């Protein structure tokens, strides 16, 4: 009887005390796409407690989520933007990082994330930012860190999981749906109104002129003598879905890539036998518009309202 009582006592003692001696992270390097610990459905750790690895083009670096977000927000959004817009960007980047870690981790040198916007998100080192901002570094770095710390640990979920928190520079009145761009419909990445325009965004419009000769060099398999353009089809947000250029059927995305356009929000016309392309906005158009977020913030909206507007149906969660 005494042995059973002692056994029960030690079992209770171990279950109570042991968790405090379990290391917060594995002593061995993480597997690609894994955090230093296995996260629950909702991550309850502060940014300073979450560790990840980043491939920055030269090396694989281990850093905290807080330091990663400082470099990512600094690289992705102008530091001169309104603080509420910067907070929204911090949440979007934190969410996107968690999404990538769970769903599509970077394979760059076995790192969790990379510093390329074509794969993960842009990221800049502290040394780079000191050179870029110069005398303004103390002010801008304090603003960015304030945005990160004010949203410490907060991210967006849908169905209990981090969302694909896509973002872009600017749109022409409405954002684009994920289905129209990537062929994958996500309920929180649908076309929504956005307030930026030519008066609030520098270089909002871009006008380019292409001769038949230039187009024949840029578009593989085209016929220089065919009709210049025809058959334009638009998406629900008014962007170019497809068009035929010199006999070649192209999607809006393909035309944007081939001609190096800033956006698929493109208006085509003919002028003296040349193709004139007028684009408005910049980026793929899906998710949060950065200039739109800044305009919303300047109108008095806080970061929670901005995120709710661009990612409808999502829930903002954080430390529990």
3-class SS of residue 230: strand
The mean of the pLDDT values for the chain is 87
Q: Is the pLDDT of residue 108 over 70?
A: no
pLDDT digits (tens, 9 = 90+) for 239-291: 999 999 999 999 999 999 999 999 999 999 999 999 999 999 999 999 999 99
CA-based nearest residue to 173, from 154, 201, 205, 195: 195
pLDDT at 39: 42
| pLDDT single digits (tens) 173-194 | 999 999 999 999 999 999 999 9
Question: Using CA atoms, how far apart are residues 169 and 189, in angstroms rounded to an integer?
Answer: 16
Sign of CA dihedral 307, 86, 154, 32: positive
CA distance 237 to 174: 6
Position 61 pLDDT exceeds 50: yes
């Amino acid at each position: 009887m005494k042995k059973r009582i002692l056994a029960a006592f030690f079992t209770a003692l171990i279950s109570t005390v042991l968790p405090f001696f379990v290391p917060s992270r594995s002593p061995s390097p993480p597997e690609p796409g894994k955090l230093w610990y296995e996260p629950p459905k909702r991550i309850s750790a502060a940014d300073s407690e979450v560790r990840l690895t980043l491939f920055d083009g030269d090396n694989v670096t281990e850093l905290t989520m807080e330091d990663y977000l400082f470099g990512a927000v600094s690289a992705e959004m102008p530091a001169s933007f309104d603080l509420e817009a910067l907070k929204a960007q911090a949440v979007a980047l934190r969410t996107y990082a968690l999404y990538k870690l769970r769903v599509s981790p970077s394979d760059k040198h076995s790192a969790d994330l990379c510093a390329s916007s074509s794969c993960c998100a842009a990221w800049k080192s502290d040394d780079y930012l000191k050179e870029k901002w110069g005398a303004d570094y103390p002010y801008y770095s304090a603003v960015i860190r304030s945005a990160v710390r004010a949203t410490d640990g907060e991210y967006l979920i849908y169905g209990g999981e981090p969302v694909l928190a896509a973002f872009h520079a600017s749109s022409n009145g409405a954002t684009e749906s994920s289905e129209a761009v990537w062929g994958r419909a996500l309920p929180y990445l649908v076309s929504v109104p956005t307030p930026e325009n030519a008066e609030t965004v520098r270089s909002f419009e871009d006008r380019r002129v292409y001769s038949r000769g230039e187009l024949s060099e840029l578009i593989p398999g085209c016929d220089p003598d065919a009709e210049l353009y025809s058959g334009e089809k638009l998406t629900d947000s008014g962007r170019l879905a497809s068009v035929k250029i010199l006999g070649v059927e192209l999607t809006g995305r393909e035309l944007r890539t081939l001609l190096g356009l800033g956006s698929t929000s493109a208006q085509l016309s003919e002028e003296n036998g040349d193709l004139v392309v007028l684009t408005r906005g910049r980026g793929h158009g899906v998710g949060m518009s950065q200039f739109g977020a800044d305009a919303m913030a300047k109108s008095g909206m806080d970061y929670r309202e901005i995120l709710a507007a661009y990612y409808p149906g999502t829930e903002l969660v954080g430390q529990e």
